[in-house]
Amino acid sequence: MIRLVLRATVAGALTGVAVALLLHLAILNTPVQIPPHRFGWQLFTFGLAGAIAGMGLSSVIALKATNPEPDYHRKPKR
């Protein structure tokens, strides 16, 4: 269970860093001048946000799977 949460956390962090890198490339192609230390904070912020999102999603999925109530395990009606 812990490994699943850690995997999702790392995947979320990597996704956040990838988004930050894409934004950085977009910013480099504009005339705006941004100090280099702000790019580090951008990477950190997006990586942390992705990690928290991945951890939250995997925790909810794990809690749903281990819930003993039958209502959580029913298939939705169409």
Q: What is the model's pTM?
A: 0.74
Which pLDDT belongs to residue 4?
81
Instruction: Give the pLDDT confidence of 20-72 residue by residue, as tens digits.
Output: 999 989 988 889 888 888 888 988 999 999 999 999 988 888 887 787 777 76
Which pLDDT belongs to residue 28?
87
Tokens 């979320």 identify what position? 12
| Amino acid at residue number 65 | A
- DSSP letter, residue 29: T
